[in-house]
Amino acid sequence: MNGRILLLPIVGNGNAVVTFRAGKVTCEMQGGVFQKQGVKYLEMAKAAVNLIPGKIEFKFDNLFEGDERLGNEMNRVSMTTGKKFGEMLNEIMKRH
């Protein structure tokens, strides 16, 4: 990972867990069924996803080359900006 949360740089190489709680996701899909060698498959032509975040929790491992103090602080900051992050993620998903 190499990026920013708010204006703070965030650097690391490890696992990340993002948990969405009490939110709402709607997905509208268009497609059809096709058959290949006697097996039916669903083919998606178009999909639109709308994410309305409730609470979003983050846990990033091995930030700042394993500096536990800095990593814990960055995890705390990411938790306080979780809803804003969810809103930004929703806008990105709408464009694609």
The CA distance from 26 to 42, in Å, is 19
Pairwise CA distance, residues 63 & 58, whole Å: 13
Domains of the chain: 2-95 (3.15.10.30)
- Taking alpha carbons only, the member of 47, 58, 50 closest to residue 21 is 58
Per-residue pLDDT of 51-92, as tens digits, reads: 777 777 878 888 888 888 888 887 787 777 777 777 776 777
**Residue-averaged pLDDT of the chain:** 80
Q: Give the least confident one: 1-5, 43-47, 82-86.
A: 1-5
pTM, rounded to two decimals:
0.48
